Amino acid sequence: MSGGPVPVWKKYTTGSNGIWETFRKWATLVPNRSSGNPYVPFYRVPSPSSEKHVYKDARTIPASDIVGNDFFKRDNRRNHPTISTFDQAKIGGLLKLGNSTNSRLPKGDEGVKQLAILKTESVKLTEVLTSAPKDVIYGEVLGKSGEPIVAPNLNKKFSVKLLTEEEHGMYNSDYPCRIFKATA
């Protein structure tokens, strides 16, 4: 300390009196050290709870409005992107519609009517697959020669070879079954 050690009687801590103070000085290693118990009239005056003014909570509208303001809507920590799923009705509708480059809807009002029908009615994937032309099945659903589509970045060495009937010899032309042999 810059001013030297402070005597016990000057510190804002409670101490013993009389014979007990003499005993404390004799029994302790450092007699100038205080007990550490604060002297109540000088400790934290004015006390934190003695404020005369009432604290008014700051409010902002519409954030403080509870109605229609659910926590999960404004919780940015858990604002994960939602997972989109495709069921058979959506896939059937997409196969019927086509895509932006190759649209299968007619132009004009007729296309708008068909689009409205697809939104209101549920489309069955099996019906779309049976009524779809072969160039849609072989080219968009499957590969050009009927092989399953594999993402190009998954396995560079993966290739599919369609076996003809002469190679495996198990099925005749009455039973249309394709066997795929993966060559890696």
On whether the pTM is more than 0.85, the answer is no
The token pair at 103 is 């649209």
State the pLDDT confidence band at 23, using cuts at 50, 70 and 90.
very high
Question: In this structure, are 112 and 157 located in the same domain?
Answer: no
Question: In this structure, are 148 and 127 located in the same domain?
Answer: no
Secondary structure class of 110 (helix, strand, coil): helix
Q: Indicate whether 184 pLDDT > 60.
A: no
Nearest one of 39, 10, 8 to 22, comparing CA atoms: 8
The token pair at 44 is 């934290």
pLDDT digits (tens, 9 = 90+) for 56-76: 777 777 767 777 777 777 777
165 versus 56: the higher-pLDDT residue is 56
Distance separating alpha carbons of residues 69 and 66, to the nearest angstrom = 5
Question: In this structure, are 137 and 95 located in the same domain?
Answer: yes
Question: In this structure, are 91 and 130 located in the same domain?
Answer: yes
Question: In this structure, are 92 and 120 located in the same domain?
Answer: yes
16 close to 22: Cβ distance less than 8 angstroms: no
| The length of the chain, given as a count of residues | 184
Q: Please indicate, yes or no, if residue 158 is contained in any of the structural domains.
A: yes
pLDDT digits (tens, 9 = 90+) for 101-139: 777 777 888 778 877 777 777 788 888 888 888 888 887
Number of separate helices (H) and strands (E) present in the chain: 7, 2
Q: Please indicate, yes or no, if residue 132 is contained in any of the structural domains.
A: yes
Q: Is the peptide bond before 62 cis (omega within 30 degrees of 0)?
A: yes
With a pLDDT cut of 90, the percent of the chain lying above it is 3
Question: In this structure, are 130 and 151 located in the same domain?
Answer: no
- DSSP-derived pairing of the beta strands 180-183 and 159-162: antiparallel
CB neighbourhood size of 95 (10 A): 19
The structural domain count of the chain equals 2
What pLDDT sits at residue 164? 60
Residue-number span of the structural domain to which 111 is assigned: 85-141
Q: Indicate whether 55 pLDDT > 80.
A: no
How much is the mean pLDDT over the chain? 76
Rg (CA), the chain: 42
